[in-house]
Chain A
Amino acid sequence: MHEERFDVVVIGGGHNGSTIAAYLAKSGLSVCVLEERPECGGGQENTEPRPGFRIDPHATYLYGGAAPGFEQLELWKYGFRMVYYQSMAGLVTQDGIAANLGGRWNKEVGVDSIKSLTGTDPQGAEALFLQNLGDNGQRDLLRSLFWTPPVPSEYELEPKDLPWWKVFRDLLPGFWTDRLVDMSFIDFLDEFISWEPLRCFESFAAWYCGAHPAWDGMLLPSLGGALLVGYSSGSPRGGMHTYAHAIIRCAMAHGARIITNASVGEIIVQNGRAVGVKLDDLASYPEKTIWADKAVISAVDVKQTFLKLVPRSHLDASFTQKVKDVSLKGGSLFVLSVICRELPKYHGNKDYFPEEVYPSCVAAPADNMEFFYTQTRDAYSHKKAPELTPEHLTMMICTHDVYDNTRCPEGYHILSPIYLEVPPPQYDVTGPEGINRHKEEITDAALKLLKSLAPNMDGANIVDVYLNTPYDSEFRNAGMSGGNWYGARQSEDQWFNMRPVAELGRYKTPIDSLYLCNHTSHPGGLCLMAVPYNLMHILIEDEIVEPKSWWYPSPWYMPPTKTGVGS
């Protein structure tokens, strides 16, 4: 075997690893992606445990509609196709309300439904952002939040001068007050949304899409998460894995080498510089050492990178401790997939949920903020299995098949995923496998609750149930620490140039030529092609890559100043 040598070696072929590989290969570099599993895609996967039925064990919606990557990588060339939904969201309460909140492509559904329930203009903040910002305004706000690399620390920006607040001020000068900067999303909801179930729904939406709504100073990142999902209001045809296919195919078309079943065991560091990687002995590749001339990019989580892959002898203890302390709280999901004959017919005003405008994601039950507080208390405390009683178990029930007929055969429906937030396995007082001991219990509680809200969800209707706990998710995908959809808590202390820790804020590391490209870096979880887009700015700064004219940087990008300390 000849020596294996590439310009860049990427560890992990998940969403972010594949995307940076596509960017770099398109820029003319020789790139090799090493993926531990039989398929690339990481969190973007669809599996078919029962013939004909595709479930979504992790990612389910396209949040990345505003990503420059679609254009820059020309994903359309590689088969990318969307399915847009008539209605994205709905909410159901225990006391008998079913509200169709509609979505970007069919606003009337939502407006009519909520008007009839509340008698007022219901949309509050959502109306403000989705409608008043306009298409470009929305895109700019989202790009300033997610598709802008963290600002070098020498700029010492005031919070209100962070890119997203600048955009916000420009777009909505009348709405701007200094106060917003310190607010949490919940403060904001209290102020602008009067209908309690909608407040509860929005809180859950933010929690599942971005930052926890109670986190101070995170109003826009929180709200931005919810805006992201509304911006596309749909999913790739066939599920999220085909989005991964388009990205990987782009990388391959530009010559990237993709190797699956190739788990990386070590990053080789020589003289403080990352120069290659060693594969695990079991890897399905004849040569186990692979050299990188220009950079090693770790697209696996920060903890694995520094606590396992980089030999400890190259790191100082204070840094390692900070990495150990990165908090995983708040994104661990217990995922159910339910195959059924009929879609849930929720009690309450069913008229709003006919198949042709069926809300793809229903939050249920979402009566009032008490539901939200109970559940978050559970997920954030160091408990053993969640103490949720069925009455306080709010589920995000997702279904795609009414809009995308590739998901399951005629005559069936598939509710996949049904998400439940639970504590990260790592913080379970009975040990990380604790949650798995309560699998059946939690599943039973969830199904019982579903039946109480939608009486037709009984044994005769439900054909099969699959589930993955966050502990299972970690095993399935060694990158999903905590079975957590964003890898590390997205609170202000772990956001933007503090993410995951200040030393790593701009994707650079204490090891020369070693860069980070995983959702544990800014802007966090979701398949946005954002971490790689942002990282490209840094790789250009470092003269590792020089993309052609298809590339454009973020308008809010601030390069390090020559005199600055942060460069």
Chain B
Amino acid sequence: MRTSFQAVPDTKLFDEFPKETTFDVVVVGGGPNGLIAGAYLSKAGLKTLVVEKRHEIGGGLATEETLFPGFYTNPHAIYHLMVDYIPVLKDFDLSTHGVTFIKPNIQTAQVFSDGSSLVFCQQIEDTKDSMAKFSPKDARNFGQLMRKWHKMVDGILAPGTYLPPLSPIDMIEALGRTEFGTEALRLTEMSPIEIIDENFTNDKIKTLMLYMSCMWGLNPNDSGLGFLVPLLIDRGLNKAQCYGGSHKLAGALSREIHKAGGLILDNSEVTNILIEDGHVAGVVCADDRVIKATAVLSSLPPPLTFGKLIDQSYVPDELKENAENWEWDPWSFLTVSVATKNKPIYNCDDPWVNDALMVVLGFDSYDQLIEHFNAVLSGKLTANGEMGGHVTLETTYDPTLPRVPGHEIGFIQCHVPNELEGGWDSHKAQAGNDLLKVWQSYTTNFENSSVVKKSIEDPKDIETRIASMVKGSIKHGDYNPLQMGVFRPHDSCVGGRSPIEGLYLCGASSYPGGLIIGGPGYIAANTLAEDLEIDKWWKLPNFVSKYKDIYLS
């Protein structure tokens, strides 16, 4: 860290936040998970402090004026996949803070270079209409499959997000009890490609299905996590955008924390987790402030929590190993954000595409997409020089983002290796401009001259903004069977309870994983409340209790 040459005043102007303070709980990191944990615990009466490195809380829930001056974007999370389930939205009446999600019908489209298009909607019949242009058979299959998959999500996968994970053996026993559970187990052993091949025939439909299955980081070729395909497809048709920006959700959680007597301390990097007599004793921040606490919840991934923040003599060997061998996300995002003078209109056969929450571009065939994913997984920017990704025009559903009236704001984003030969610095500008050209080439009116502001962010930039997303790991670590379920981050930390007494884990590197799903923070808050034997003021949501009754009784 750089030095700073502060003066020490000879006169006290006023009191400042003390050099040493005591709280019941300290949460490291004010991302969605840290804030959720903090909100439950402070409302439970625990004196809670959330310590955040940045000047703004929210982590992935950011809405900032990155297209300065005048244009706000959501530089990180924009698609909220779990708003139908995430308990925090109901447990706290967040609508009193003006939290509103827009879940448009037109969810995900793809435009092909021949001008044809697919439009996947929340309303399944609308989706089937679009598919039927290419394959009536696939459309019919899709309808039936989605009925099944949605029940699987509703009955198993969504509730499972908000309870501690089961060991593989227990999981097999539990899920084996029902037809849907058995199907989920069967899918687990399949790769995304296999699942899609099994259900669809049309090349274009398969292409978009695969994109939706893998865009959050599933390896298309690998089996072991196939149960995530139904979840990602079902949720991919039920995405919502937070009106006013994703940060609105972070702001609302912060208000709940403060209302309940908790506090958020920003501009404070935690540099050390204190351990005394084998028990967590608090944290130290970059400005040497010491915060004592009986429990610390870390939302940072193992290489930071166990590898950097704790004196190694207190870290059990298996967790040292876990920290050393932790695999970061194999791919990250390259994002080009723009403010434009007019709304880009697609050159395609379906005007609904223009209002889709997300539009996939640049891939004409299933094989091309598979090759592209494989190229990225092997560390290359593209398979054959051609780029593709997904676009969202943020202003379509959130007109509050531009400060200058009459402008649109949007981005195109693509999967890229977190490191490139020669370093990202030497590729960023070219890659970003090429990617923007892909978007432009699919429209009738999106010229360079309509771009008012532009910014390009690569995986390194993601880490610079959010230190927990090392190498641009948007989920704090790869989704592979060895880092998922009970193994996320390690099977000695189930439910967020680490073997170091008083240390809990509550971030995306813990079960169930990344994205704005509210799982890790919720689970850790539950675990800590149980360990401290405090009254939980909240109840398990009905869909979770139902699941418990069927599978865990």
User: Residues on A close to B: CB < 8 A?
Assistant: 37-39, 46-49, 51-52, 54-55, 57, 65-66, 70-71, 74-86, 103-106, 135, 231-234, 237-239, 241-242, 245, 249, 252-253, 255, 257-262, 282-286, 355-358, 401-406, 409-410, 466-468, 472-473, 475-476
Contacts and interface: CB of A to CB of B under 8 A. Distances in A.
B222 interface: no
Interface in B27-73: 55-56, 63-70, 72
Interface string B381-420: 0000000000000000001100110000000000000000
13 contacts: A38-B400, A47-B68, A65-B14, A70-B13, A74-B15, A78-B263, A79-B264, A106-B7, A232-B13, A238-B55, A282-B399, A284-B99, A356-B5
A38 B55 contact: no
B245 interface: yes
Given A233-B7, A404-B4, A405-B3, A286 B267 contact: no
Interface in B435-482: 455, 457, 461-462, 464-465
Given A38-B244, A241-B55, A242-B55, A76 B7 contact: no
Nearest to A354: B5
Given A38-B72, A255-B259, A284-B244, A49 B2 contact: no
Interface stretch (B247-255, B491-499, B529-537): B247-255
B9 A38 contact: no
B9 to A, nearest CB: 5
Given A49-B65, A70-B15, A79-B263, A261 B4 contact: no
A253 B5 contact: no
A70 B254 CA distance: 22
Contacts of A66: 13
Given A47-B68, A79-B263, A468-B69, A476 B403 contact: yes
Given A238-B55, A410-B1, A81 B17 contact: yes
B400 A468 contact: no
Contacts of A356: 5
A49 B75 CA distance: 10
Given A252-B259, A475-B403, A355 B5 contact: yes
Contacts of B13: 65-66, 70, 82, 231-232
Interface in B225-279: 243-245, 247-248, 251, 254-255, 258-259, 261, 263-267
Contacts of A49: 65-68, 455
Q: Which of B245, B403, B465 has the most CB of A within 10 A?
A: B403
A47 B64 contact: yes
A238 B268 CA distance: 9
A57 B3 contact: no
B15 A76 contact: yes
A495 to B, nearest CB: 26
B325 interface: no
Contacts of A406: 55, 267, 286
B72 to A, nearest CB: 6
Interface string B125-155: 0000000000000000000000000000000
A286 B95 contact: yes
**Interface range for B:** 35 or more
A48 B64 contact: yes
A71 B400 contact: no
Contacts of B287: 81, 237
Contacts of A282: 399-400
A65 B13 CA distance: 6
A475 B399 contact: no
Contacts of B286: 405-406
Contact of A253 (B245, B247, B259, B266): B259
B16 interface: yes
Nearest 8 pairs of A and B residues by beta carbon = A238-B267, A261-B244, A70-B14, A105-B7, A49-B68, A252-B258, A284-B244, A51-B464
Contacts of A405: 1-4, 286
B70 A84 contact: no
A62 B66 CA distance: 25
Contacts of A135: 11
A421 B287 CA distance: 35
Contact of B248 (A242, A252, A260, A286): A260
Contacts of B464: 51-52, 409
B422 interface: no
A59 B447 CA distance: 36
A233 to B, nearest CB: 7
Query: Which of A261, A282, A473 has its CB near the most chain B CB atoms (within 10 A)?
Result: A261
A415 to B, nearest CB: 16
A48 B457 CA distance: 13
Specify which of B55, B243, B248 lies most central, judged by the most chain A CB atoms within 10 Å of its CB: B55
A135 to B, nearest CB: 5
Contacts of B248: 38, 260-261, 284
A57 B64 CA distance: 13
B199 to A, nearest CB: 39
A257 B96 contact: yes
A475 B14 contact: no
B100 A286 contact: yes
B8 interface: yes
A481 to B, nearest CB: 15
Contacts of B351: none
Contacts of A104: 9
Given A242-B266, A261-B248, A402-B4, A84 B9 contact: yes
Contacts of B16: 76, 80-82
Most chain A CB within 10 A, of B17, B63, B72, is at: B17
Nearest to A261: B244
A252 B14 contact: no
Given A46-B55, A249-B263, A57 B69 contact: yes
A473 B403 CA distance: 10
Given A105-B10, A286-B98, 5 more contacts: A47-B65, A78-B263, A249-B258, A252-B254, A260-B244
A500 B166 CA distance: 67
Contact of B5 (A51, A81, A86): A86
B18 interface: yes
Given A86-B5, A106-B7, A284-B100, A242 B267 contact: yes
Contacts of B308: none
Nearest to B18: A76
Contacts of B264: 79, 245, 249
A556 B21 CA distance: 37
Contacts of A257: 96-97
A46 B55 CA distance: 8
B255 A258 contact: yes
Interface string B183-212: 000000000000000000000000000000
Given A38-B248, A284-B244, A472-B70, A76 B14 contact: yes
Contacts of B266: 79, 238, 242, 245
A404 B10 CA distance: 19
A104 B13 CA distance: 12
B378 to A, nearest CB: 26
Interface in B73-116: 95-100
Nearest to B243: A284
Nearest to B242: A284
A48 B66 contact: yes
Contacts of B68: 47, 49, 55, 57, 466, 468
A48 B465 contact: yes
A485 B403 CA distance: 19
Which of B11, B97, B98, B243 gathers most chain A CB within 10 Å? B98
Nearest to B251: A260
Nearest to B247: A38
A234 B14 CA distance: 13
A31 to B, nearest CB: 13
Nearest to A337: B68
A541 to B, nearest CB: 27
Nearest to A279: B98
A275 B553 CA distance: 56
Nearest to B453: A49
